[in-house]
Structure 1
Amino acid sequence: MRTTLHDGVPARPRRLRTLLAGALAAVTATIGLTAVPGLPAAATPSVGQWYAITSAHSGMALQISGGSTATSAELVQQPRTDATSQQFRLVDSGGGFYRLQARHSNQVLDVLGRNAADGATVGQYTDLNGTNQQWSITEQSNGTYSFINRFSGKALDLWNFSTTAGSRISQFTYNGLAAQRWILNPIGTPALSNPIRSNGADPWIEYWDGFYYMSTTTWDSTVIMRRATTLAGLKTATDTVVWDDSGVSNRCCSHWAPEFHRINGTWYLMYTSGNSQTDFGGQRMHVLRSTSSTPMGPYEFMGTPLPNQWNIDGTYLELNNNLYLLWSEWIGDNQSIRIAQMSNPWTVSSNQFTIAQPNFSWETVGARVNEAPVVLQRNGRTFITYSASSCTTPDYKLGLLTLTGTNPLLAASWTKRSAPVFQQGNGTYGPGHNGFFTSPDGTESWIVYHGNTSASQGCGSTRETRVQEFTWNSDGTPNFGTPVSRGVTLTPPSGE
Structure 2
Amino acid sequence: MPSRIVLLFTHLLLALVLGFSSAQQAKTFSNPVLSSAGADPHIVFHEGFYYMTYTTGADIRFRKAASLAGLDQAEAVQVFQPTGDGCCNVWAPEFHLLDGPNGKHWYLYYTAGPEKCCSEQRMYVAESASTDPMGPYTLKGKVFDAQHDFWSIDASILKAEGKLYLIYSGTPQDHMPYEKPQNIYIASMENPWTLSSERSEISTPSLFWEMQGAAVNEGPVVLYHNDDLFLAFSGSGCWTDDYKLGLLKANVHANLLDPASWMKLPDPVLTRSDANQAFGPGHNGFFKSPDGTEDWVVYHANAFPGQQCGGARLARAQKITWGADGLPIFGTPDPLWVDVPLPSGDPGLP
- The TM-score, its normalising length taken from structure 2, stands at 0.85
> Could you say which residue in structure 2 is the equivalent of 1:171?
none
State the one-letter code of the partner of 1:229: A
Confirm whether residue 274 of structure 1 aligns to residue 121 of structure 2.
Answer: no
Contact 2:169–2:220 (8 Å) recurs in 1: yes
| Contact map agreement 2:40 2:284 (CA 8 A) in 1 | yes
Which residue of the partner structure matches residue 80 of structure 2? 243
**Where do residues 417-432 of structure 1 align in structure 2 (5 Å cutoff)?**
417-425=265-273, 426-432=276-282
Say if 1:356 and 1:216 are closer, same or farther in 2 by CA, change over 3 A: same
* Count of residue pairs the alignment pairs up: 305
State the match for 2:194 in structure 1: 347
1:357 aligns with 2:207: no
Alignment equivalent of 1:201, drawn from 39, 42, 50: 39
Aligned partners of 2:172, 2:305: CA distance in 1, in Å?
A: 29
Query: 2:340, 2:72 → 1: CA distance?
Result: 14
- Cα displacement (A) at 1:249: 2.8
**Structure 2 counterpart of 1:311:** 152
Instruction: Give, in angstroms, the shift of residue 331 of structure 1.
Output: 2.2
> Secondary structure in 2 aligned to 1:266?
strand
1:140-289 pair list within 5 angstroms: 191-197=28-34, 198-220=36-58, 222-245=59-82, 248-264=83-99, 265-276=104-115, 278-289=116-127
Contact 1:201 1:450 in 2 (8 A): yes
> 1:200, 1:216 within 8 Å by CA — same for their partners in 2?
yes
Question: d(CA) in 2 for partners of 1:201 and 1:441?
Answer: 26
Partners of 1:490 and 1:259 in 2: CA distance: 25
Cα distance between partner residues in 2 of 1:320 and 1:200:
32
Q: Distance in 2 between matches of 1:312 and 1:336?
A: 10
Q: Describe the shift of the 1:189–1:238 C-alpha distance in structure 2 as closer, same or farther (beyond 3 A).
A: farther
Provide the C-alpha distance between the structure 2 equivalents of 1:203 and 1:473, rounded to a whole number of angstroms.
25
Counterpart selection for 1:439 from 274, 277, 289 = 289
Distance 1:193 1:350, change over 3 A: same
How do 1:44-193 and structure 2 match up within 5 A?
191-193=28-30
Task: Give 2:170's aligned amino acid.
Answer: E
Confirm or deny: 8 A CA contact 1:250 1:282 kept in the other structure.
Answer: no
Matched, 1:296 2:134: yes
SS in 2 for 1:355: strand
Q: Tell me the residue number matched to 2:7.
A: none
1:379 is matched with which residue? 226
Please state whether the residue corresponding to 1:201 is helix, strand or coil: coil
Query: Counterparts of 1:494 and 1:321 in 2: how far apart (Å)?
Result: 29
The alignment partner of 2:209 has SS state of helix
How high is the sequence identity, in percent, across the aligned residues?
47
> Secondary structure, in 3 states, of the residue corresponding to 1:250?
helix
1:73-92 Cα offsets, whole Å, 9 max, x none, are xxxxxxxxxxxxxxxxxxxx
Name the CA distance, whole Å, in 1 between partners of 2:329 and 2:92.
24
Could you tell me whether the CA contact under 8 Å between 2:209 and 2:235 is conserved in 1? yes
Distance 1:413 1:358 in 2: 17
Q: Unaligned stretches of 5+ in structure 2? A: 1-24, 174-179
Contact 1:260 1:268 in 2 (8 A): yes
Q: Does 1:480 align with 2:330?
A: yes
Deviation at 1:399, TM superposition (A): 0.5
| Residue 306 of structure 1: how far off its partner (Å) | 1.0
Among 317, 327, 336, which residue is 2:183 paired with?
336
CA–CA distance in 2 between the matches of 1:486 and 1:328? Answer: 30
Unaligned regions of 5+ residues in structure 1, if any?
Answer: 1-187
**Structure 2 residue identity aligned to 1:422:** L
- Supply the AA of the counterpart residue of 2:78: V
Q: Is the 8 A contact 2:150 2:171 kept in 1?
A: no
Aligned-residue RMSD, C-alpha = 1.4
Structure 2 match to 1:470 = 320
Deviation at 1:381, TM superposition (A): 1.1
Q: What is residue 247 of structure 2 aligned with on the other side?
A: 400
Which amino acid in structure 2 is aligned with residue 224 of structure 1?
Answer: R
Distance change >3 Å, CA 234–CA 190, structure 1 → 2: farther
Q: Deviations over 1:396-441 (max 9, x none)?
A: 0000000158211111110000000111112201000000001110
CA distance in 2, matches of 1:343, 1:303: 14
Deviation of 1:310 (Å): 1.3
Displacement of 1:282 in angstroms is 1.6
Larger RCO (CA within 8 A; separation ≥ 6): 2
TM-score (norm 1): 0.60
The residue type paired with residue 328 of structure 1 is S
Shift of 1:262: 1.2
Q: Quick check: 1:449 aligned with 2:268?
A: no
Q: Which amino acid aligns with 1:270?
A: Y
Alpha-carbon shift at residue 309 of structure 1 (Å):
2.2
